[in-house]
Amino acid sequence: MQDRNGPESATRPGDSPAPAVQPPKAAERGMSSAQPAIELKGISKAFGPVQANKDISISVAPGTIHGIIGENGAGKSTLMSILYGFYRADRGEIFINGQKADITDSQAAIAAGIGMVFQHFKLVENFTVLENVILGAEDGRLLRPSLAKARRELKALASEYGLDVDPDAVIHDIGVGFQQRVEILKALYRQADILILDEPTGVLTPAEADQLFRILHRLKDEGKTIILITHKLREIMEATDTVSVMRRGEMVATRKTSDTGPEELAELMVGRKVLLRVDKTPAKPGADVLQIEDLKVTDESGVLRLKGIDLTLKAGEILGLAGVAGNGQSELLEVLGGMLPAVGTVTGRVRMKGEVLPLSGAAGDGKARRAAHIGHVPEDRQRAGLVMDFFAWENIAFGYHADAGYQRSGLFMDNQGLRREAADKMDRYDVRPPDPWLKAKSFSGGNQQKIVLAREIERKPSLLLVGQPTRGVDIGAIEFIHREIVALRDAGAAILLVSVELDEILSLSDRIAVMFDGKIMGERLPGETDEKELGLLMAGMNNAASGEAA
Amino acid sequence: MEKMPAWADVVLIPLISLILAAAISALVILFIGESPAEALNLMVTGALGSTYGWGYTLYYATNFIFTGLAVTVAFHARLFNIGGEGQAMIGGLGVAVACLYVPWPHWSLALVAACISGAVFGAAWAAIPAWLQAKRGSHIVITTIMFNFIAAAVLNYLLVNVMRPTGSMDPATERFAETIHLPTLHELLAPFSIAFSKAPPANVSFLVAILACVAVWALIWRTRLGYEIRAFGHTETGAVYAGISPVKIIVVTMLISGGLAGLMGINNVMGEAERLVLNATEGAGFIGIAVALMGRGHPAGVFLSAILFGFLYQGGAELALWTSIPRELIVVIQALVILFTGALDNMVRMPLQQVFAALRRKEST
């Protein structure tokens, strides 16, 4: 969208596409208050042989929060993309406030009163809030009148919905929670009556998420209709009035939220009974495996990312590192996994079973770490853990590809052996489809992660670094992945788990450390703490008794 | 994104691009008052209608295979080596050095030595931009193109001041010894009693070029180095994760790329001119970029598109000879082909994808 808006507004600044007030719509709204705000009838969409949406019909009442939940690849995003004009449905009709709408592109969607807040924000980082709000919705060649108008409207919106943001703040200076508000303001400025939010809490702290939900309720009270796409059952239960469940391209059920519960929803999503809690025995910690003393990392721009980390990890335990993304967890995992910063410095002392791990040069690279029996499931499996354009069988050795076992003779690799191994591991880790000749990008997130886990866990590492193991992974696969991680722990490995999902940290860890701003804020035992306390630590408040996070 | 069948990607898109380029060329020819049909006829018969024509087509194609492979290898590491021209020039220098200063008893030995020397010189010329990219982050596009100019200047200096035989007015080295004359296709095919025209310069280097295609294929898809190059090309973060050193990959890939470009010297310097002349590369280094783009990263594609560009070169020369179509127009036609097959790829791809999507929708209903 950012790309789309930029050039468009640059080439034809004269016409103001979206936000011009549409009198007929207001009239419609008045007449058809009993009509559903959105009604989809028989929407189907296929991508090649894949039927992403099969004959989907839903109806969303105005002034409600409607959740759409489903596993990855269930077709939620496709459906919303059709509603927002990114794709055209092969079949089916869309009605907005009872009127048949022909949504050919996102401009048409905006004109129909639909606003979308994407999971990854579409903001220009070095623009102010005000500039971002008018981007693509300028009223003329000169910016001043538009800016002045936007300033007035923003003020009105702020008081109406409690969406306070400093209009002159530059985007990269404000937190993600505020950035998200700017996205919401952008939609409201464009007269959106229907707001679609795609996985909105992925980047937020629990406190920020609570604030978001308060805002959504306020918007609802003012008559807006909200569609919330999420994979988190808890958010559905907390925030929505009705919920629709999607599975494999079909809408399998719509429930009133008050009439259902997480167990039923999970079962509907997956199509079978799901164990929501991790089934594990108490840890039996053994000897120290990893000792980190005063680890400091400076990045290429001279910023101290890790400000002296001290951690000890024992064999047979899972240490969960909680924290909002960007507080140093990534850097810690990377340094331990041998992804040293190309520019910048790493100091401190890291020992693995007593042996010092080098923190610079080739002796500290990924190969050396693997040789030291450290497995690494990286946070970003699409850019680091897998080569998306490689076949599954090529990925099954990624990182271990220089091992003698994978070489045939001299220079050549044993590709046949790799394919056999891939077929075998994909079978055992239930990767679907179990076809080594598919490229990594053709698998769903969960199956991609299973490929990475198969590769790393089968090496029987003494230490496994796991970053965001279930990000973008469907519920059915989450259960499997958690089981494998616990099994590796029970086999005596030390596991360092980084996750932004507090649920995951709480249910999987034997010990929890919370990171904030490059430091460890404290350690807790999962049985003796709760989300609220961890949330405060994640926000940098050491004194857990100090009340509400604000 | 909706997918097309593989054959459409590999065959149909280049074909449509070519037809579009040809159509616009035809309009231009029509505009200057010549008949496009006649021009096409001339080009085809001139380049492919006789063994004479084929001899030239294959000679040019040999140059383009080497430079096209050079660009292709670098592409796999997501490096845009547009210094093929300079690397081929310096490679030619290496070939000339190997041929001039050692009294080889037989051409085959000389060819092996020339291959090594040309590749080493070409690689050395690519090494500096590679090191600058890997260590200092200087963009390889900028540095390699600058090195083209430096190579031309270096060659100019050497030919005028150092390597020119005394008394000669021509900025060129002396002729290589008769003993190391590379067999032309005519001479190679004679024992099999296949008649091939004597005149054109296509020579045994063509076979070396085919070998190079096979070698590059094996390198990219069969070796550990190729695996690492491709991994690095797709995701640098991933390479670091896997313990692949970006510095090593950038340098090694560029050395291979420069070496391949340098190998071109065995064809144009040793096979054709049999001495080193000024501007011996004749832009083949740049054509290599187009060849690589059209070849879609695969040596087989590079081979085919090199033949196509060989055809355009030879056919174009025929046009200039027999019609009032100026030589410059040939360059226009070649440029159109490059434009459509390389730069405007998506212009054909997008509509075609929609066509296939529509077809599929029709099938499913």
Mapping DSSP to helix (H, G, I), strand (E, B) and coil, where does residue A460 land?
A: coil
Q: State whether A48 and B231 contact (CB < 8 Å).
A: no
Pair A302, A209 in one domain: no
Nearest Cβ partner for A339 among B228, B235, B240: B240
B3, B222, B244 member nearest A412 (Cβ): B222
pLDDT along chain A (550 residues), means of 10: 40 42 41 74 84 91 93 82 90 91 89 88 90 86 87 88 87 85 90 91 79 91 92 88 91 92 86 77 93 93 91 96 88 94 90 94 93 95 93 95 87 92 94 91 88 94 94 82 94 94 90 94 92 86 50
In chain A, residues with a C-beta closer than 8 Å to the C-beta of B2 are 47-48
List, for residues B23-52, the tens digit of each pLDDT value. Answer: 998 998 898 888 889 988 999 999 999 999
Quick one: A222 and A196 in the same domain?
yes
Amino acid code (one letter) for B48: L
Task: Tokens for A154, please give them.
Answer: 């923003």
Residue A345 β-bridge partners: A298
Using the 3D structure, point to which of A209, A236, A270 is the last residue of a domain: A270
Say if A372 falls within a structural domain.
yes
- CATH code at A178? 3.40.50.300
Are residues A230 and A474 in contact, defined by beta-carbon separation less than 8 angstroms?
A: no
Say what the alpha-carbon torsion angle B310, B311, B315, B316 is, to the nearest 10 degrees: -50
H or E stretch including A465? strand A463-467
Question: Of A237, A270, A303, which residue sits at a domain end?
Answer: A270
**pLDDT value at position B321?**
86
| Nearest residue to B233 (alpha-carbon basis) of B4, B72, B10 | B72
Say yes or no for a CB contact (<8 Å) between A48 and B238. no
**Contact assignment for A380 to B222 by CB distance below 8 Å:** no
The confidence score (pLDDT) of residue A37 equals 92
Yes or no, beta carbons of B228 and A46 under 8 Å apart: no
A548 within a domain of the structure (yes/no): no
The answer to whether residues A382 and A521 belong to one domain is: yes
In a domain, A123, yes or no: yes
- The ipTM value here is 0.86
Domains of chain B: 61-304 (1.10.3470)
Please say whether the beta carbons of A233 and A261 come within 8 A: no
Strands A345-352 and A288-298: antiparallel
Is a pLDDT exceeding 80 seen at residue B303?
yes
Q: Is the domain of A257 the same as that of A312?
A: no
Does residue B335 or residue B138 have the better pLDDT? B138
| Interface residue A398 vs chain B (CB under 8 A) | yes
Asked whether residue A54 is domain-assigned, the answer is: yes
Res A547: pLDDT: 40
Considering the domain architecture, whether residues A303 and A258 belong to the same structural domain is answered as no
Residues A101 and A169 grouped into a single domain: yes
| A357 and A211 in a common domain | no
Show the domain range for A351.
Answer: 288-538
User: Do residue A136 and residue A109 come from a single domain?
Assistant: yes
- A414 and A314 co-located in one domain: yes
Q: Which of B2, B214, B216, B227 to mutate to test the interface with A (most CBs of A within 10 A)?
A: B227
Helix axes B246-263, B224-234, angle to 10 degrees: 110
Co-location of A23 and A115 in the same domain? yes
| Interchain proximity A413–B222, CB inside 8 Å | yes
Q: For the range B13-18, what are the long-range contacts, defined as Cβ-Cβ under 8 Å and sequence gap of 24 or more?
A: B13/B345, B13/B348, B13/B349, B13/B352, B14/B294, B14/B305, B14/B341, B16/B348, B16/B352, B17/B337, B17/B340, B17/B341, B17/B344, B17/B345, B17/B348, B18/B308, B18/B337, B18/B340, B18/B341
Average pLDDT, chain B: 91
Nearest chain A Cα distance for residue B284, angstroms: 31
Q: Which residues of chain A have a CB within 8 Å of the CB of B222? A: 411-413, 415
**Which residue in chain B is spatially nearest to A336 when comparing CA positions?**
B241
B237 touches chain A (CB under 8 A): yes
Closest-CA distance, A385 to chain B, in angstroms, reads 6
Interface test with A, best of B76, B78, B214, B241 (most A CBs within 10 A): B241
- Residue A280 lies inside a defined structural domain of this protein: no
- Residue A382 maps to a domain: yes
Residues A304, A223 share a domain? no
Query: What local confidence, expressed as pLDDT, does residue B365 receive?
Result: 61
In a domain, A235, yes or no: yes
Same domain, residue pair A15 and A106: yes
Q: Chain B: residue nearest A87 by CA?
A: B1
List of chain B residues whose C-beta atoms are within 8 Å of the C-beta of residue A337: 241
Of B218, B231, B360, the CB nearest to A387: B231
DSSP bridge partners of A401: none
Distance from CA of A424 to the nearest CA of B (A): 21
B10 pLDDT band (50/70/90 cuts)?
A: confident
Q: In the sheet where A519-524 sits, what is the strand order?
A: A374-377, A463-467, A494-498, A318-322, A511-516, A519-524
**DSSP 3-state percent helix, strand, coil across chain B (nearest 5):** 75, 0, 20
Q: What pLDDT is stored for residue B364 in this prediction?
A: 65
* Residue B15 pLDDT greater than 90, yes or no: no
**Nearest-angstrom CA–CA distance, B162 and B63:** 26
Give the number of residues written for chain A.
550
Residue A550 located in a structural domain:
no
Q: Per this entry, what is the length of chain B?
A: 365
Number of domains in chain A: 2
Does B240 sit within 8 Å of A388, measured CB to CB? no
Mention every residue, 6+ apart, whose C-beta is less than 8 A from residue B329. Answer: B28, B29, B32, B319
Which of A270, A302, A327 marks a domain boundary?
A270
| Contact state of B238 with A387 under an 8 Å Cβ cutoff | yes
Decide if B3 touches A, using CB distance below 8 A. Answer: yes
